[in-house]
Every structure is written in C-alpha cells, then in structure tokens.
A = this chain, B = another copy of it.
Amino acid sequence: MSKPLRLGIAGLGTVGAGVVQILRKQAALLETRTGRPLVITAVSARSKEKDRGVNLSSYAWENDPVALAKREDVDVFVELMGGEDGPAKDATDAALALGKDVITANKAMLAMHGQALAEAAEAKGSVIKYEAAVAGGIPVIKALGEGLAGNQITRVMGVMNGSCNYILTRMEDAGLPYADVFAEADGLGYLEADPQLDVGGIDAAHKLAILSSLAFGTQVNFAGIELEGIERVSIEDIRAAADMGYKIKLLGVAQVTGRGLEQRMQPCLVPDTSPLGQLSGGTNMIVLEGDAVGQIVLRGAGAGAGPTASAVLSDICDIARGYRGPTFGQPATTLTAAVPATSQRPAAYYLRMTLMDKPGALAKVASVLGDAAVSIDRMRQYGHVKDRAQVLIVTHKTTRADIDHALAAFGATSVVSGDPVALRIEEV
C-alpha cells in the first residue's frame, strides 16, 4: 500500500467541515482513485467547542494555524480560513517555508500575494493548488491550466460572483430597486461579512486576477483591474436593457492586446439569448477562449459547502496522484509583469439619459455623439414624464475614449438632465 497523504486542515467553516465530511464518507473511493489513503491528521479553527456536524475527535487540534502548518505529521496544509493577510497568510508562509504543499480556497490571498507565494513554493519544490478559489465547484483552474494548455488563450470572461448575479436577477424578476434586493440578500446571509467584497466586485476581481495570470502567463495583478461594482446598477437600466434585448451582468473580462493586459470587472450588457445572458440566480459561468479550441463555456455552483469542498478535494486528489505543476501554469520566475491597459478596443455601448423637453433636444444629443465620432445603431425615446424623456441609445462599435468625450460634452448641451449612464456591451 502506498504512503498515506497526511492533511492538516485550517478553517472549519462550512467548506472546511464539508471537506472533512467528504474525506470521511468517501475514504475508500478516494483511496481507490488516488492509490493511497487520504488522512486528516490535524485540524485548526477558532473555537474547538463549536459543533460543526462532523466528528473531529480522531484529529489532533491546534488553536494556531501556524502550528498546524508546521506539524511534522502534516504533508499538505489545507487553508480554508480566508483573508488576504493575517493567520491564513502566516500559516501558508510557514507551510511553504518547510517545503509543504498548500491547498487554498483563498482568492484574496492569491490575488494579493500570488506571485510571492508561487515563487516561495517553487523554490522549495512544493505546489500551491487553488481550484476552490475561483468559481466554486467548476473545475476552471484545471480546465484553463491543463485542459487548454495547448492553446494561446485569447480571452477569459465570466460571471464570477453568484451573489451579484443573484441580486441583478432578482431586481429584474421582482422589479425591485437595488437597495431593497441588497437588504434582502444580506438578510438571507447571501453576502460576505463585508458586503462590499461582493457588491463592489472585489471578490470577483480577485478571481479574475488569478485567471488572468494562469491564462496569459502574467504575474497576478489585482491593482490593474478596472473595477466597478453593481451598486449603481438601477432597475431602470435593467428594464431598459431588457427592452433592447440585453441583460446586465457583473462581467469579468481579461485579454491581452498590443497595449497590454486588459482586465475589467464591471457591469456590462450581454445579449439576453447568450449563455451568459441566460444565467440567472447564484450560478457562475466562465467562458474560456483559445486559438485552437474556440470557445468553452463552464457553468456550475460558484459557492456553497459542497461545490467548494468538491474543488478542494480535486486538489487533494491531484497531489495524492503526484500531479505537481507550477502554481500559475508555468514557473513563477517566467511569469511576465503585466502591463495594465485600460480597454480601448472598440465595443458597442448602451447609453441612457434623461432629456429635457426643449426644442431640438434630441438633435443636440445626436450631434454631440456625431462630433465624438460615436455612431448610433439603435435609439428609443420614451414618452415625456414631467417634462423629462428617457432616451436609450445602442451605439455602433466605438472606443471608451470617444464615449467619454461624448459624455463630457452632454453637460454643455443644457438638454441632458443629470449624468447619463454608459455601459459596455460585451461581445459574447
């Protein structure tokens, strides 16, 4: 019989408890699949007393995750605590310093310290696996880093935060404003303790930064992401977009152009008939595009104890089987520094603005757009309410710079009331 793989698990929230449960319930199956017993030797969490619905009595207990990571009877340190710094980072550093392998679900830590961690791991010949850090149960890290390893990746795109997608879907279905649905989701426990991580797009951007590195061979660069959350998405825009055949999604997009690495996480419009447009509720979807494979779409639960534990188990099985690769698909020392580029690739844009009831108002708007070299594909004006009319415009492909010129010029027309809304329409 092969040597057991000895796991130390730090963090026993729903995911950690889920991992323990699977390792206990499927012990025989996992041993058959990997060729060796997978055993938990020690665990660590904040409170030893809390009932987590799993029997922990046969595992050594450590109050300190750093002590857990350093234990001689731990081969693989499984970090399920979260937090970009603090105990999770300290314990991961300790494990790597001793040449141990690390499995983590911690997207924030990887997005902030991925390069240093990968270099530390590879210097010691150990591996960091993180399937659970992106899109929960969807095996996207494996698909991108291994399944599409023969491709030059051309674009990575997706809905990577289920809570945001739930909120946007619910706003549309129930016709409720953002604030109401936010409060509802928070009450149901759908949001992180700091909800800004979700609705500000930060959690999703952490994931995008990780995918970018793996896709394009660049060092993780969270700071280079153009980031905008969903807080300013209004029910009016959701309705107007629907009226024009689109859905609004918090969409992450990464691609390399001649100008550098473009990474965007922001509300975008996608056609309502596209797979991304049809994604409702808390589900995640990742779209991977490569020069050989074309487009691959992966869809599944992006969060939850079972799906996330499934991803952690995938990493455990990989290590047990001896599948040891560099963290970001190629040696960390070969990853290039990303040159962040704001997107100047042309795209169609959705514009919504409020026009005052003045003669020639629409002509002025059209002329501003024309002067900015923005041409109009479709336009709708809705009836006047209290001397104000809503105008929706879908432009032909244009650059963000030209749109910004037009937006700046609307102010001087004295016919546009308030700030127009401009959202990119992503080709999917």
Contacts and interface: CB of A to CB of B under 8 A. Distances in A.
Given A149-B34, A293-B137, A298 B301 contact: no
Given A32-B217, A150-B317, 6 more contacts: A29-B152, A142-B146, A149-B314, A149-B318, A275-B278, A296-B300
Interface stretch (A70-78, A163-171, A197-205, A320-328): A320-328
Closest 6 CB pairs of A and B: A150-B313, A139-B147, A293-B310, A137-B293, A149-B317, A292-B310
A33 interface: yes
Given A18-B292, A29-B152, A314-B147, A35 B331 contact: yes
A152 B317 CA distance: 14
A414 interface: no
Nearest to A321: B325
A307 interface: yes
A306 B293 CA distance: 6
A5 B26 CA distance: 36
Given A33-B329, A150-B316, A321-B325, A300 B309 contact: no
A152 B138 CA distance: 16
Interface in A316-352: 316-318, 321-326, 329-331, 334
A29 to B, nearest CB: 7
Contacts of A26: 150, 152
Contacts of A22: 150, 292
- Each complex incorporates copies of this chain amounting to 2
B309 A292 contact: yes
A296 B150 contact: no
A313 to B, nearest CB: 2
27 contacts: A29-B217, A32-B217, A32-B330, A33-B149, A35-B326, A35-B331, A131-B147, A137-B294, A139-B146, A139-B296, A149-B318, A150-B313, A275-B299, A290-B310, A292-B313, A293-B307, A293-B310, A294-B300, A294-B307, A296-B300, A297-B299, A297-B300, A298-B298, A298-B299, A321-B325, A322-B322, A323-B323
A54 interface: no
A293 B301 contact: yes
Interface of A: 18, 22, 26, 29-30, 32-35, 131, 137-139, 142-143, 146-152, 217, 275, 278, 290-301, 304, 306-307, 309-314, 316-318, 321-326, 329-331, 334
Contacts of A278: 275, 278
Nearest to A18: B292
A299 B151 CA distance: 17
A403 B295 CA distance: 41
Contacts of A152: 26, 29
Contact of A298 (B217, B296, B326, B330): B296
A34 B322 CA distance: 15
B143 A139 contact: yes
Contacts of A149: 30, 33-34, 313-314, 317-318
B147 A143 contact: yes
A344 to B, nearest CB: 26
Contacts of A295: 300-301
Contacts of A313: 149-151, 292
A319 to B, nearest CB: 11
Nearest to A320: B149
Given A32-B334, A139-B148, A147-B139, A307 B329 contact: no
Contacts of A292: 18, 22, 137, 306-307, 309-310, 313
A310 B139 contact: no
Contacts of A325: 321, 323
A147 B142 contact: yes
Contacts of A318: 146, 149
Nearest to A297: B299
Interface centre among A30, A152, A292 (most CB of B within 10 A): A292
